[in-house]
Amino acid sequence: AQTVTQSQPEMSVQEAETVTLSCTYDTSESDYYLFWYKQPPSRQMILVIRQEAYKQQNATENRFSVNFQKAAKSFSLKISDSQLGDAAMYFCAFVNSGGGADGLTFGKGTHLIIQP
Amino acid sequence: DARVTQTPRHKVTEMGQEVTMRCQPILGHNTVFWYRQTMMQGLELLAYFRNRAPLDDSGMPKDRFSAEMPDATLATLKIQPSEPRDSAVYFCASGLGGAVHGYTFGSGTRLTVV
């Protein structure tokens, strides 16, 4: 079974600064997808960014980027120019490819606080 | 934007009562998941469907929980009888067959069993 570990229960960053959230995972599969989801107080789960394991290039979405290290099974999220609206729980998630035969496996989450 | 619709948004019920939660997946999505979120356990997969067929419900307590997709526009999660330990937020998510695009989540149903 796959496991996803987020070792930082809480992180704090000053507005406009950069913060990196850590995620490691364990799998015996070679083909899979990784995601970061954001959950603000409204509790809506919002997809922030995704990464295909077969792609070496790190995914980027505006101020959000990832550092994907396949050999190390590491998938960190970097948020640049942090904004107050970025305050939320962030969840790292894993799913096997092959038609998405398994559901997403989530980490426990990191609570991100933005200091004005 | 297309969205996954879940009803009700909140539900308070007494122990022993039946609870039904509903989900309308995004039109055209053929994969539907049910997740439960608690502070202690985080996000747990309860069940999922592909083309309305149940593929896995191993995460679901079989004696009291049931999940169905009577048609492509409706997924239901039922608890009978409900217990206080079932109090949680229940999410529905839908997606296309592969995981490449990720999955879209509904706003969840917050269930409180007293």
pLDDT digits (tens, 9 = 90+) for B32-78: 999 999 999 999 999 989 899 988 888 888 899 999 999 999 999 99
d(CA A18, CA A39): 19
Residue among B89, B80, B93 at smallest CA distance from B9: B89
State the average pLDDT over residues A56-78.
Answer: 96
Chain B residues in contact with A51 by the CB 8 A cut-off are none
CB contact under 8 A, A106 and B48: no
**B interface test, pick of A45, A50, A52, A64 with most B CB neighbours within 10 Å:** A45
pLDDT digits (tens, 9 = 90+) for B8-27: 999 999 999 999 999 999 99
Whether A109 has its CB under 8 Å from any CB of chain B: the answer is yes
Whether A41 has its CB under 8 Å from any CB of chain B: the answer is no
Chain B residues in contact with A40 by the CB 8 A cut-off are none
Tell me how close the Cα of A83 comes to any Cα of chain B, in angstroms. 23
Burial of B85 (0-12, 13-18, 19+ CB in 10 A): exposed
Tell me how close the Cα of B69 comes to any Cα of chain A, in angstroms. 17
Residue among A31, A69, A24 at smallest CA distance from A53: A31
Q: Which of A50, A101, A108 sits opposite B42 (nearest CB)?
A: A108
In degrees and rounded to multiples of 5, residue B59 shows phi and psi of: -85, 0
For the range A59-64, what are the long-range contacts, defined as Cβ-Cβ under 8 Å and sequence gap of 24 or more? A64/A36
Confidence of residue A101 (pLDDT cuts 50, 70, 90): low
Residue among A33, A18, A37, A12 at smallest CA distance from A112: A12
Confidence of residue A68 (pLDDT cuts 50, 70, 90): very high
Residue of B nearest to A6 (CA): B42
Q: Which residues of A88-110 are buried (b: 16+ CB within 10 A; e: fewer)?
A: bbbbbbbbbbeebbbbbbbbbbb
| pLDDT, averaged across chain A | 93
pLDDT digits (tens, 9 = 90+) for A2-59: 899 999 999 999 999 999 999 999 988 888 999 999 999 999 999 999 999 999 899 9
CA angle A80, A90, A2 (to 5 degrees): 120
The confidence score (pLDDT) of residue B92 equals: 97
The confidence score (pLDDT) of residue B65 equals: 96
Confidence of residue A103 (pLDDT cuts 50, 70, 90): confident
Q: Is the pLDDT of residue B94 over 80?
A: yes
